[in-house]
Amino acid sequence: MNLPVWTVLPLFQSSPRELTGMVRESESLGLTGVLATDHLAGWRRPDSAVLEATTALGMVAAAAERRVGSLVLQTTLRSPSYTANVAGTLAAICRAPPLIGLGVGDSRSRAESNRLGIALPPFPERLRLMRETIAAVRARAPGVEIWVGGWSREVREVAAEQADGWNAWGGEPAAFEVAVDQMKKMNPSVIVSWGGLLDTACSVDTLGRTLSRRVDAGAQALVVALTPPRVATFRRWAPAIFNHAAL
């Protein structure tokens, strides 16, 4: 694939075997790498199991031949120095340079935090933590690629000023195209990526068009998650979807 394409690790109700299986499947298809989301509760049921992102990344990094990383680690859950140490550890373990995606949290992460009694700071404080975390990662692991995820103008400004890339998750193609244009005006060198959850209840044609439209709108990299999040789903659907999108 000429376009960098990543997939998301199945951290919800999964086993270590599922994680290493996803690594093997993604590498067999020639994907760029695998990324861990950062959630505290299950996808559909708040009380269902979820694997902790940084712990899972350590295991996956030891097994993967290609790249691994996060999309996104919540900067409110860990101190900047802690996240920087995670990045440095991954850089030491990985066979290929890791990717550290960072985010300030959203409505879903607020609900997760509230259920566990973790206070989510006000938005300005979360932006400050993100900036400090980026600086800490740069100092601890200077070769690590950093993306910032989020749609808000303030988050995109942080990405343009301090990060190597920006990721938009979901959203409509027209809104993404506008955001891409704004990002490129702020910093033309920032890598623009789009990520989303593709429902395999839809046709392959529909899923392929979803990816193609984001590429046409300016995506320079893609992060593809399939539902249900299982290796078997990825094995069955990913080749057809990527071939249809002609990535």
Please give the chain's pLDDT, 247 residues, in tens.
789 999 999 998 778 899 999 999 999 999 999 999 998 877 667 677 789 999 999 999 999 999 999 999 999 999 999 999 999 999 999 999 999 999 998 877 777 777 777 888 999 999 999 999 999 999 999 999 999 999 999 999 999 999 999 999 999 999 999 999 999 999 999 999 999 999 999 999 999 999 999 999 999 999 999 998 899 999 999 999 998 887 8
Residues near 219 by beta carbon (within 8 Å), at least 6 away in sequence: 3, 176, 180, 192, 193, 194
Q: State which amino acid sits at residue 24.
A: R
From residue 196, alpha-carbon distances to 5, 114, 210, 214, 227 in Å are 12, 25, 9, 10, 10
DSSP structure string for 23-50:
HHHHHHTT-SEEEE---SS-SS-TTS-B
Residue 165 to residues 58, 65, 168, 171, 202: CA-CA distances in angstroms? 23, 22, 10, 18, 30
* Distance, CA of 23 to CA of 158 (rounded, Å): 31
Cα angle at 23 between 108 and 214, to 5 degrees?
Answer: 55
State the Cα–Cα distance between residues 116 and 242, nearest whole angstrom.
38
According to the model, what pLDDT value does residue 246 have?
76
Q: Two tokens at 5?
A: 């394409």
Q: If you ran DSSP here, which 8-state letter would residue 119 be given?
A: P
Note the pLDDT of residue 228.
Answer: 87
Establish whether the linkage from the previous residue to 228 is cis, with ω within 30° of 0.
yes
Locate all alpha helices (DSSP H) within the chain, ordered by sequence.
Answer: 16-28, 53-63, 80-93, 107-115, 123-140, 153-162, 173-186, 204-216, 231-245
